[in-house]
C-alpha cells in the first residue's frame, strides 16, 4: 500500500512540476526542455513498474529516477551559474558569501528549484526499496 501511495505522490509531483514549468515558459531551448523529457521518462517508467512489477520494469524505473535526480542536480547548477553571471554583471565586486547569498536569493531563475526533481527521484527510489519483482 505504501509503495502505491509513494508512486501516486511521485506522479502528482511530476505532473505538478511539469505544469508549473510549462506555465512559466520553461520550454524555450533544449536545456529547458530536458526536465520535461526526464519527467516523461519517469512517468512512463512509473506506470510500467506499477502495472507490471517485473524485474526489468523495476530496474528501468530506478534508472529513470536516477535520471530525474541527475536532471535536478544539473538544473540546480545551471540556475546557479545563470544567477551568478547576472549578479556579477550587476556588481563585479561581489564575491564570497555576499555573492552566494545574492545568487541563492534570486527569483529568476530560482537557484534551488530544480532540486525538487532530485527529491522526486528519491521518492521513486524509496518506493522501490526492497521491492521483490513479480
C-alpha neighbours within 13 Å on the C-beta side of residue 70: 10
Question: The whole model's pTM is what?
Answer: 0.87
Domain boundaries, the chain: 2-127
Per-residue pLDDT, averaged over 68-93, amounts to: 94
Q: Which of 43, 3, 2, 41 is nearest to 128 (CA)?
A: 3
pLDDT tens by residue, 96-123: 999 999 999 988 888 889 999 999 999 9
- Dist CA 66 CA 27 (whole Å): 22
**pLDDT for position 3:** 87
Amino acid at each position: 500500500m505504501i509503495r502505491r501511495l509513494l508512486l501516486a505522490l511521485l506522479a502528482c509531483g511530476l505532473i505538478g512540476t511539469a505544469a508549473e514549468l510549462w506555465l512559466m515558459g520553461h520550454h524555450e531551448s533544449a536545456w529547458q526542455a530536458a526536465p520535461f523529457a526526464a519527467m516523461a521518462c519517469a512517468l512512463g517508467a512509473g506506470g510500467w513498474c506499477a502495472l507490471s512489477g517485473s524485474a526489468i520494469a523495476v530496474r528501468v524505473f530506478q534508472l529513470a529516477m536516477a535520471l530525474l535526480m541527475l536532471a535536478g542536480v544539473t538544473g540546480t547548477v545551471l540556475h546557479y551559474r545563470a544567477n551568478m553571471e547576472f549578479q556579477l554583471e550587476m556588481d563585479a565586486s561581489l564575491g564570497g558569501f555576499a555573492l552566494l547569498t545574492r545568487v541563492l536569493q534570486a527569483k529568476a531563475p530560482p537557484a534551488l528549484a530544480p532540486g525538487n526533481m532530485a527529491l522526486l527521484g528519491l521518492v521513486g527510489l524509496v518506493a522501490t526499496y526492497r521491492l521483490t519483482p513479480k
